[in-house]
Amino acid sequence: MFIGDDIRTDIPILGEAKIHSPLTLEGVTGGGSRFISENDRILVDVETKTACAGKPPLSFEQAGPREKIYFDPSKLKCAIVTCGGLCPGLNDIIRSIVLELHHLYKVRNIYGIRHGLQGFIPEFGHGVIDLGPKSVSGIQNTGGSILGSSRGGQDINAVVDCLERMGIGILFMVGGDGTLMASKRIADEISVRNLKISVVGIPKTIDNDIFLVSRSFGFDSAVDVATLAIKGAHNEAEAYPNGIGLIKLMGRHSGFLSATAALAQPDANFVLIPEEEIHLYGKNGFLQALERRLVQRKHAVVIVAEGAGQNFFEDKEKKYDESGNIKLQDIGLFLKDKITQYFKSKEIPISLKYIDPSYIIRSLPANANDSVFCGLLGRDAVHAGMAGKTNLLISYWNNHYVHVPMAASAGRRKSLDPEGRLWQSVLETTGQNSFFKG
């Protein structure tokens, strides 16, 4: 991933941390060695060949508990909100934040905001949920979010007005790129008003495309379920003459899920991603390549990311959802129709099965790996907020948990490198280039 020269890594703070952390109690931190110093940094780029001569290497603050905290836990009120599309692990994140605040920092006023940013706007009347150990018991075993969610922008001034009225000290916002941009705007408005409210973001996206975030929660669970879809598609394709299994996976702008699932379950013969333009016809077109595959092996499995092939719809009027995102045209159904028409015109009988597991994936509970990951993200979010840090997100970067400024990540996107190892491994595993080249 290219890291631009415009990246700043300093994290704003609400004020000097003067209060001894409750984690200093004997037995809690293992003798105090668990505390993170402000001087503990993680390099942004571990490839020294890209380092600028004469300049200190760019680095992030390491996440974790601080010996001194800013907020008095006995007087603190916290709020948690989940926004955007559903994703495995949302309840794990909520549970982790609540238990860390309650048991480790002894915070007793924790509120869940209902249905995303709508929950801050009085006209919607959603109310709040009191959160504690009992209310989050076992929620990691269920999908979705106990707080609900919503899409669409809300008046940032009205959101901050609500935070003031409620006396909130720390706001935890869990969401994707749109939520992170909203988080930054909320934190900026809080700064303009000179309020002492910390805003901590926890990045969420199945697509794994958030800038300066190596891995987002829910991705591992999505790969798990996607591999089941690939197995099913492969079994269906093999069972019939000229069988074709066509699977559409998430990935609006990035092909990480499609590529990783294809490597995890290496039964796919073609993987189509947004980063690589698709051509349907001609000797190097997809349909001709698919025909070559059927001639050779009598069956084929195709994975397509939802954002792939949008070049086929350039004449369509662009429409936007409530959050301002472009509504993608359905490449899965488009390919299904084109494949059917192509082989019908050649009088070649096929058996085509189309599978779209997207909403099954989104609403399932997290798998074991994601559940552990969510716990670590939630606890580090609490440590950052208690230390008075704000306008940041908790990221996993270079095998460490770090603080990334909202401004460095929001509004930017991570893409799969067509020349990188991940995609080259997909090409080697599928062998799809051999069919495109004839």
Q: Which residues are catalytic?
A: 207
Q: Which two tokens stand for residue 71?
A: 């907020």
**Residue 212 to residue 171: CA distance in whole angstroms:** 22
With beta carbons less than 8 A apart as the criterion, state whether 12 and 191 touch.
yes
**Residue 425 to residue 431: CA distance in whole angstroms:** 10
**Residue 359 to residue 40: CA distance in whole angstroms:** 40
With beta carbons less than 8 A apart as the criterion, state whether 144 and 90 touch.
yes
The torsion angles phi and psi of 180, rounded to 5 degrees, stand at -65, -40
Q: Which residues is 109 bridged to in the sheet?
A: 77
How many CB atoms lie under 10 A from the CB of residue 258? Answer: 30
Instruction: Indicate the helix (H) or strand (E) that contains 407.
Output: helix 406-409
- Show the CA angle centred on residue 147, arms to residues 14 and 218, nearest 5°: 85
The pairing of strands 77-82 and 109-113 is parallel
**Residue 368 to residue 20: CA distance in whole angstroms:** 34
**Residue 356 to residue 413: CA distance in whole angstroms:** 24
Q: Which two tokens stand for residue 250?
A: 């998430």
With beta carbons less than 8 A apart as the criterion, state whether 226 and 367 touch.
no
**Residue 107 to residue 171: CA distance in whole angstroms:** 14
What is the chain's percent helix, strand, coil content, to nearest 5? 40, 20, 45
